[in-house]
Structure 1
Amino acid sequence: MDDNKLTIIYDGEEVMADILFTHYSEQTEKNYVVFQFSDRDEVSAAVFVETENGEGYFEDVQTDEEWEMLDELLQNYLGDDQDDEDAQDDEDESDED
């Protein structure tokens, strides 16, 4: 099993998702998982609740404040990812010279 993938029941069907990143918020004292569905561009998030046996389950994100925090983190993540791609493109172009 790939540690960066998860299976989610979405609209009554099992769908695969790629984990983009995880985040622990000291403010809410919750662990979040931000993921993208493998078969579409849709990104979502959930709260991961760890159980005593080290496993866990997902709960819905509850508040607008949590969604705003996660959206800001996602924008930073996507910006960093884009910056990495731009830097690699610049390196590739300079290698061609």
Structure 2
Amino acid sequence: MEHGEDRQITIIDEEGNEILCNIVLTFESDDYNKSYVIYTAVGQEFDEDGDPEYHASSFIPAEDGEDGELFPIETDEEWEMIEEVLNTFFDEEEGE
């Protein structure tokens, strides 16, 4: 599992706008045979209630190490798995 302060990706929203995002973490799931990225939009890290707003996508890493192609999360099972990974990640962060 990787995480770092300086890793960013640019995503395209539904309206075709480019949004710079900070990568929170990336991980692979053997259950779904996919890689996942969890990220926050720069400048939009929190929702109206002040809670962190996290986004997640599955992705296929590019062969040459460049950013791969992002895909939406399609099933509730995947969302539950992602939430578990995120919760575990934050529990470990607090424990350090």
Q: Name the counterpart of 1:57.
A: 69
Judging by fraction of residues, say which structure has more strand: 1
SS of the residue corresponding to residue 32 of structure 2 reads coil
Q: In the alignment, does 2:70 pair up with 1:70?
A: no
Q: In the alignment, does 2:39 pair up with 1:27?
A: no
- Aligned counterpart in structure 1 of residue 10 of structure 2, from 7, 11, 14: 7
Which residue type is aligned with residue 25 of structure 1?
A: S
Judging by fraction of residues, say which structure has more helix: 1
TM-score by length of 2: 0.74
Q: Relative contact order, CA 8 A, sep 6+: which one is greater?
A: 2
Q: In the alignment, does 2:56 pair up with 1:45?
A: yes
Deviation above 4 Å: which 4+ runs of structure 1? 51-55
Aligned in 2, Cα 1:52/1:82: closer, same or farther, shift over 3 Å?
A: closer
SS of the residue corresponding to residue 28 of structure 1 reads coil
Structure having the higher Rg:
1
Output the CA distance in 1 between the equivalents of 2:86 and 2:63: 29
Instruction: Structure 1 unaligned segments of length 5 or more: list them.
Output: 85-97
Instruction: Structure 2 unaligned segments of length 5 or more: list them.
Output: 47-52
